[in-house]
A and B are shown apart, each in its own frame.
Chain A
Amino acid sequence: MQSVIVENIIKNYRTKKETVEALKGISFSVDKGEIFGLIGPDGAGKTSIFRILTTLLLADSGAATVDGFDVVKDYKKIRNRVGYMPGRFSLYQDLSVQENLEFFAAIFNTTIRENYNLIKDIYQQIEPFKTRKAGQLSGGMKQKLALSCALIHKPSVLFLDEPTTGVDAVSRKEFWEMLHRLKMEGITILVSTPYMDEASLCDRVALMQKGVIMTINTPAGIISGFKKPIWAMRSSEMYRLMNAVKEDETVESCFPFGQYQHIVFKNPGNDEQRLQEIARKGNFTQVEIQSIRPNIEDCFMALMQQ
């Protein structure tokens, strides 16, 4: 069964001067119990999709359902059964941690006790500060409280808009472990992120840019869609190496990835010899060349250039 169905959604934002095309005809669906990722930079349209699906914004055209309910006609039913954590902290800053949680539980006609098992792992970490005002919490604690409030009514679909932006690598890892535990409870999760490496933690992802979905697939499927051989190369002088590789006319793309340059040729064949030739001509030292598997970011950049 499909928890979310989006069909050809278009959304424009108009000001006096100009029209911004936020979503240019987007379609996708999310299976029940799936973790589905919207991956893309700022301006891709991720937040507009979240706001349309949580019935906070009307699309210009197209249709969408959540849990079988129409986002326009059945908006009240949707609001009762989804959880939404917006990118910007949206809880009551002048209520305490516990008051916020009680408030959201009351709105959804439930109690903290009823679904405590669902939020226990997360809420326990902020419970020592339960009398503190939400506005005085640190970023990481705000994030945990917001997730607890979004979960308190045991939603069937959870919408998380960039929950890990600006969060350090350790906290990001913990957050994803938590999402996988929620998936085990049967909750469908739609999550957006600008971090490409988090794509591999989703069941399926949509790679988005400027209001368009470039591709939808499993992380493995996206990687196997990268057809050309890709090479990693390094030397003692990385910036000079990058410029030397880019100057070669047979090179299609060269992007730095940590200690390596990832290189793709326009017409593959004898790639390794060509790279050795570049290294020899430029007198590069400590050269290392190897054939690699592309990662999601390689795929994203290749799609961007099409």
Chain B
Amino acid sequence: MENDKVITAHELTKKFGHFIAVDHISFDVHKGEIFGFLGANGAGKTTAMRMLCGLSLPSSGKASVAGFDVYKQNEQIKKNIGYMSQKFSLYEDLTIGENIDFYAGIYGLSNKQIKEKKNDLLNRLKISGQEKTLVRDLPLGWKQKLAFSIAIIHNPAIVFLDEPTGGVDPITRREFWSLIYEASAGGITAFVTTHYMDEAEYCNRVSVMVDGRIEALDTPANLMKNFSTDSMNGVFLQLARKALRSE
């Protein structure tokens, strides 16, 4: 099922001078999959993610995202992915409605589409009528749910989520994951980094990066079995302890 692959990476490498930040990583991610991308601070996750998002050119190796080549078609990649991180997502001094208009506009949706999508999004999040609320005045959990919904407003093939749930309460964290599951059921692939190891277990498959390389890649159940432990935390500790480099 070659065309079922939304991301393919083959021997993907990024060097900064003599430092090999990402060291020949190879993996595929399938349509609708929730793919956990784990690693210690400094393992190379952010650098790898930046290459896949079309923001940084690889030093060598091959990769395609949503069918586009990371070397030659990075502008098309940007149009066909969504991105959300805890650190940056929405404009605080714009209203909910203005943020939706802004992002949907950037992704090239028509005015008619924007209107439809906006209503749909507000209904789904049960915040109809709050369009004129400034994002600054929303609780953190709502901001993150809104940011995720906006990141997939153009129905991208894949959404990159970089530590999306930091700082939120445990119930909101779970509501957020329900949104990821819904998106995945609708065919959107989710590529997620997190420091919460229980969240790693929500993923269909998980990769663990150590010192720029992918040291393990499998379903959470198989990883736990292979590392003879009953949690992803156990898997992570065994793998990441081998790391020679820190940030």
Contact = CB atoms under 8 A, between A and B. Distances in A.
Given A169-B236, A259-B220, A41 B41 contact: no
Contact of A168 (B39, B140, B167): B39
Given A41-B140, A171-B40, A140 B195 contact: no
A209 B40 CA distance: 29
Interface in B192-246: 195-198, 200-202, 220-221, 231-233, 236-237, 240-241, 243, 246
A141 B170 contact: no
Contacts of A305: 171
Interface string B134-150: 00000111000000000
B2 interface: no
A138 to B, nearest CB: 3
B174 interface: yes
A89 interface: no
A62 to B, nearest CB: 25
B231 A138 contact: no
Contact of A43 (B42, B140, B236): B140
B237 A165 contact: no
B169 interface: yes
Contacts of A171: 40-41, 246
Given A170-B40, A258-B202, A196 B140 contact: no
Contacts of A140: 41-42, 246-247
A42 B185 contact: no
Nearest to A167: B41
B163 interface: yes
Given A140-B42, A140-B246, A209 B169 contact: yes
Interface in A202-223: 209
B162 to A, nearest CB: 11
Interface residues of B, number: 39
B177 interface: yes
A57 interface: no
Given A41-B140, A43-B140, A256-B177, A168 B40 contact: yes
Contacts of A25: none
A195 B196 CA distance: 8
Contacts, number: 95
Interface string B169-180: 111101001100
B61 interface: no
Contact of A167 (B171, B181, B195): B195
Interface in A154-205: 165-173, 194-197
A297 B170 CA distance: 7
A256 B247 contact: no
A300 interface: yes
B168 interface: yes
A301 B171 contact: yes
B71 to A, nearest CB: 29
Given A41-B140, A170-B236, A258-B201, A300 B170 contact: yes
A239 interface: yes
Nearest to A169: B236
A108 interface: no
B201 A165 contact: no
Query: What 8 A-B pairs are tightest by C-beta distance, nearest first?
Result: A138-B247, A258-B201, A41-B169, A42-B167, A168-B40, A170-B240, A258-B198, A239-B181
Interface of A: 40-43, 138-141, 165-173, 194-197, 209, 238-239, 242, 255-259, 297, 300-301, 304-305
5 contacts: A40-B169, A140-B42, A257-B198, A259-B220, A300-B169
Given A166-B195, A258-B197, 14 more contacts: A41-B140, A42-B167, A139-B247, A166-B163, A168-B236, A169-B40, A169-B233, A170-B236, A172-B195, A194-B166, A255-B170, A258-B198, A259-B220, A305-B171
